[in-house]
Structure 1
Amino acid sequence: MKSFLTILFFVAITAFSTDTVQSQTFPKMDTSPMDLAMARPDRNTPPIARVIYSRPQKNGREIFGELVPYGKVWRTGANEATELTIYEPLKVNETVLQPGTYTLYTIPEEDMWTVIINKNANVWGTVYKKENDIVRLETPARNAAAPAESLSMVFRPENNGATLMIGWDKTYVEVPFEKVK
């Protein structure tokens, strides 16, 4: 009887251990992982803006004009549309954005991009309605010093705000945000 209980105990422990190991299996990583960029004047001050986006990969593809067509609204990333959060009033192209969360879209062209800040939020893909645009800004498409394999965004601190740099492959654009005085 003692040996039967011992065997039963080890079978139960083994079964429990197998379930525990299996429950620790994580799904495959997203091919366009989410990332975030914060705009801070310096490390010791609160952020003035944040952007959350998914980072698609080049993977040998032709990006602008092919994967991302010219002249069409783009969610500026993959998966969910790119989310822009403003923490204090900021001016973009003479329009003051109040604190809140917005969607950032772009319309890439070969030499110029239109950057759109739209009042919709929590949007999948390009569920875009022009009537919800708050700001439209045309900015030159610039040649990057080196190609970027993944879509990348970073805020560059400025004296009176920050400039959002959006770059992928051989192209980048700049979007200036100014603090409201």
Structure 2
Amino acid sequence: MKKLKFLSAIAFGALLLATSNVQAQKFPGLDKSPMDLASFPNDYKIPEKTAKVIYSRPQLKSRTLNDLAPAGKVWRTGANEATVITFNKDVTLGKTKIKAGTYALFTIPNEKEWTIILNKDINSWGAYSYKEANDVARLNVPVTQAEEALEAFSMVFTKGDNGIILNLGWDKTRVAIPFTE
């Protein structure tokens, strides 16, 4: 009986220690540019995805798109870590065949067109360590203007004629990136 009480006391002490350890954890608040994900097909009931993109969503907050994504400069296509895009099957961007895998998605914004860049360096913060030598593909796509302004940078996939389109939107700027299958 004494042995059982002793083991119970030890178990209780371990539980108390584990509980106090959990309560001591400090968790950060929400990020100012929360992480988001877009996938295709975008129906959660369909598990087989052709592509998905993971990115953080900066917000204008009385700033201009050019303040946050300067024209003519390589941009991480979001906030925080560089945006990554994963293809679960081979696709084509422009005339470049892209093997299934994960790539960093960089862009070079300009007024009339954006340069879309897929790059091998997937573990980077922002575009600070971007190396053009590691580009897998580049494509220039036209910019269009919408009537509705978006406060937060947004991405969504849609079905294209011969594949999928990754649509980028921020403020009134819209960019459509076609991937053929």
Name the residue aligned to 1:163.
165
The amino acid that maps onto 1:58 is L
Name the residue aligned to 2:70.
69
The amino acid that maps onto 2:111 is E
Paired residues of 2:42 and 2:157 also in contact (CA < 8 A): no
TM-aligned CA deviation for residue 158 of structure 1: 2.4
Name the residue aligned to 2:133.
131
Name the residue aligned to 1:79.
80
TM-score, normalised with respect to structure 2:
0.82
Pair 1:160–1:22, CA change in 2 (3 A): same
TM-aligned CA deviation for residue 63 of structure 1: 1.5
Counterpart-to-counterpart distance in 1, 2:121 and 2:80: 16
For structure 2, list consecutive stretches of 5 or more residues without a partner in the other structure: 1-15
1:116-138 alpha-carbon deviations (Å, 9 max, x no partner)? 11111121111210111111111
Percent of matched pairs sharing the same residue: 48
Name the residue aligned to 2:121.
120
Look up the SS of the partner of 1:131 in the other structure.
Answer: helix
Counterpart-to-counterpart distance in 1, 2:79 and 2:122: 15
Name the residue aligned to 1:111.
112
Deviates more, 1:139-148 or 1:75-84: 139-148
Paired residues of 2:143 and 2:174 also in contact (CA < 8 A): yes
1:87-120 alpha-carbon deviations (Å, 9 max, x no partner)? 0010110111111110000000111110111111
Look up the SS of the partner of 1:141 in the other structure.
Answer: strand
Counterpart-to-counterpart distance in 2, 1:80 and 1:25: 22
For structure 1, list consecutive stretches of 5 or more residues without a partner in the other structure: 1-14
The amino acid that maps onto 2:29 is K
The amino acid that maps onto 1:39 is F
Counterpart-to-counterpart distance in 1, 2:161 and 2:144: 22
Look up the SS of the partner of 2:68 in the other structure.
Answer: coil
Pair 1:30–1:44, CA change in 2 (3 A): closer
TM-score, normalised with respect to structure 1:
0.82
Q: Report the aligned-residue RMSD.
A: 2.2
Counterpart-to-counterpart distance in 1, 2:90 and 2:69: 31
Paired residues of 1:53 and 1:82 also in contact (CA < 8 A): yes
Name the residue aligned to 2:39.
38
